Structure 1
Amino acid sequence: MNRNTFIKNGRFLAYTGGLAFTFAVAIGGYLLASLSIFQMIGPLACALLIAIIYRNYIGYPTQFKPGIKFASTFLLRGAIILYGLQLQIDQIFAVGIGIFFKDALVIILSITCMLLIGKWLKADLAILLLLGVGTGVCGAAAIGAVSPILKSKEEDIAISVGIIALIGSILSIAYPFLQSILDLSPEEYGIWSGMSLHEIAHVTLAAMPAGQEALSLAIIAKLGRVLWLIPLSCLFVLFMKKKEKQETSTVIKFPWFLVGFLLMSIFNSYILERYVYIPNAIVSTIPTLTTFLLTMAMVGLGLNVNIKTLCLKSARPLIAIIITSLLLSTITLVMI
């Protein structure tokens, strides 16, 4: 076997091994969720818990990192696109343009609170800004989008992503219990989840136990925040140009999976059943496939949570995001 073939085979095994690993843990999440004590939080949260425990007691399976990263990014986006087939476009219009501007307020509040609280705690400003963007927009994806613009250090990026994953995971598991305590309707709970939680995966994890309607509204509310990533990134580019007084070649990545989500919703609303026939056996499996892909993505998210490292190196930013996240949850609850 020549060197190139060996490298290709190594990459192939890293991807397939990572996908197989996330697949196996996802199955474990479903099995755990079948127990009465875990039924309320569902398979996504159970798979996330298994992944976090695995990472912190056994370690990260580094040999499978490419496949795990693929699961936590591309499978997640693919699942969101597929979810469009379960959503009528009329639902998006029914929520209205108002939610889009409320999402903008959420982002402003998140960044402002994070910086003010962090300054009071004397925490690192670079990490605080990344955490503010991640909390307000869409977690690790937003951090990844703005970090090249802000020229963030790799260590700061890693710490920020880890903190977002940890706090978002804790809140997304706690939210289903809060729904019954706060006596929220599925509609109110869905919008609240979408407006306040960090990652799309966290929103899905929290909203799914409340039913299809809550999940639909949660994703719509969350995607409004994701769409603000483009103008926010443009503002950061202008800020950096003014700060450094030079041109920047940073390319802003558009979240194309949002287009896929909207196209699938349009297809489901106006084309499917009217002009295209798809057997019910296939249509009925799409929600199950979507949920399972999300569960695999949740495994990748959980494996990024290194609790020991976060506690040792980022105590002050961690306190700042906890306070900010709790404030955000409270404010958005009043807003709905």
Structure 2
Amino acid sequence: MEYSETSAHIVKSPRLQWLAGIAFTFFIALLGLGLSKLPGFDHIGPLASAILIAVGYRQVSGYPEKLRSGIEFSAKKLLRFAIILYGLKLNIDVIFHQGLPLLVRGIGTVAFSIVVMYALSKWLKADASISLLLGIGTGVCGAAAIAAISPIVKSKEEDTAISVGIIALMGTLFSILYTVLRPLLPLSDTNYGMWAGISLHEIAHVALAGAPAGQDALEVALLAKLGRVFLLVPLCFIFMYGMKKRSPEKQKNSAKVEFPWFLIGFIITSLIGSYVLGDIIPIPSQVLDDISNVSTYFLTMAMVGLGLNVSFSTLKNRALRPLIAMALTSILLSVLTFFTL
């Protein structure tokens, strides 16, 4: 349904346009959540499902300009708030007391993914911005890492949306492949869980691949993955430093690198989740689950705002080579981590 002049007149004041834009992303996110419950789409999750709907809307009806302020609020402000809430999932205490060896492996995964993705994108002459985001998403924690890094490296919203869509697709394919291969591999359940946690893209992908191997394998897989999530904070500061140290010529043509204050919020919520909630302040696990669901929904709304910036012509011209580079990087990462267990 095309965004008509009649509906545009209904939303006259800037505040109403802002609220209508947020409501628009809320509604599309709700559709994405519903779509993700259907067979097939349940493997790619609500974020990618919402992006698919938003991209489809853009191709049919164009960008709803009257709602831009609210849509951009969801794509930027809600995105940062969702990442702050995401910190509650990260138990720093568990990582430092039980997962230090896995954290070291996680550092290797992050470094390998970024370096190999960079080399392959150069070789394939792939889009540099999308390839960088995919390398970071592959190494750290998928869409959340891409969303956190993209404002620091000044990526276009279209590039962010394309990268999130690609990593959701690739991560889903690999997690299903892991599940199929598990009975055929000479790995104990624990080592299999470690392999999944070290090499797969999103927390959801790790859970999908790890669960069939049993509770112990799933716990190891999630612990390994949380170690990689922890690395998101230092990685963001490394990229901040790198952006500030760019050549003077490039600095003249770019905006000042803003401090990512949402990362401070991410650190604070991580500390609260690790040392306050449950120990000092008893809180039911259901409440934490509800907060996690809210953060996922906000992140889904943000993905709608990003997806509305994608056009099929650009997607066709810019996404194929980064997709190939990421596929090769993911294969190499899986093989390397398998043989180093």
The answer to whether TM tops 0.5 is: yes
Read off the aligned partner of 1:177 and give its amino acid letter: I
Contact 1:110 / 1:133 at 8 angstroms: preserved in 2?
no
Can you list the C-alpha shifts for 1:131-162, whole angstroms capped at 9, x where unaligned?
44323333354343234xxxxxxxx8466445
Secondary structure at 1:46's aligned position in 2? Answer: helix
Equivalent in the alignment of 2:94: 91
1:271 and 2:276 correspond: yes
1:74 to 63, 77, 81: 77
Q: Structure 2: how far apart are the matches of 1:85 and 1:226? A: 14
Equivalent in the alignment of 1:218: 225
Contact 1:108 / 1:136 at 8 angstroms: preserved in 2?
no
Contact 2:78 / 2:299 at 8 angstroms: preserved in 1?
yes
Deviation of the 1:166 alpha carbon: 3.7
Can you list the C-alpha shifts for 1:51-79, whole angstroms capped at 9, x where unaligned?
33333444433433333333334333323
Equivalent in the alignment of 2:163: 164
Secondary structure at 1:60's aligned position in 2? Answer: coil
Equivalent in the alignment of 1:151: none
Deviation of the 1:277 alpha carbon: 5.6
Deviation of the 1:93 alpha carbon: 1.4
Q: 1:291 to 1:92 in 2, by over 3 A?
A: same
Deviation of the 1:312 alpha carbon: 3.3
Equivalent in the alignment of 1:238: 245
TM-score (ref. length: structure 1):
0.69
Greater mean alpha carbon deviation, residues 309-318 or residues 259-268: 309-318
Secondary structure at 1:263's aligned position in 2? Answer: helix
1:307 and 2:306 correspond: no
Q: 1:289 to 1:102 in 2, by over 3 A?
A: same
Secondary structure at 1:264's aligned position in 2? Answer: helix
1:25 and 2:32 correspond: no
1:145 to 129, 152, 162: 152
Q: Structure 2: how far apart are the matches of 1:88 and 1:158? A: 30
Q: Structure 2: how far apart are the matches of 1:304 and 1:116? A: 28
Equivalent in the alignment of 1:60: 63
Contact 1:191 / 1:217 at 8 angstroms: preserved in 2?
yes
**Runs of at least 5 residues in structure 2 that lack an aligned partner in the other structure:** 1-8, 137-144, 183-188, 212-217
Equivalent in the alignment of 1:227: 234
Contact 2:90 / 2:226 at 8 angstroms: preserved in 1?
no
Q: 1:334 to 1:311 in 2, by over 3 A?
A: farther
Query: Aligned-residue CA RMSD in angstroms?
Result: 4.2
Equivalent in the alignment of 1:152: none
Read off the aligned partner of 1:169 and give its amino acid letter: A
Read off the aligned partner of 2:237 and give its amino acid letter: I
Aligned length: 308
What percent identity do the matched residue pairs reach?
Answer: 35
Give the 5 Å matches for 1:123-142. Answer: 123=125, 127-128=127-128, 130-137=129-136, 138-139=145-146, 141-142=148-149
Read off the aligned partner of 2:262 and give its amino acid letter: F
Q: 1:97 to 1:328 in 2, by over 3 A?
A: same
Read off the aligned partner of 2:95 and give its amino acid letter: I
Contact 1:79 / 1:291 at 8 angstroms: preserved in 2?
yes
Can you list the C-alpha shifts for 1:140-189, whole angstroms capped at 9, x where unaligned?
54343234xxxxxxxx8466445423422322332442341243755543
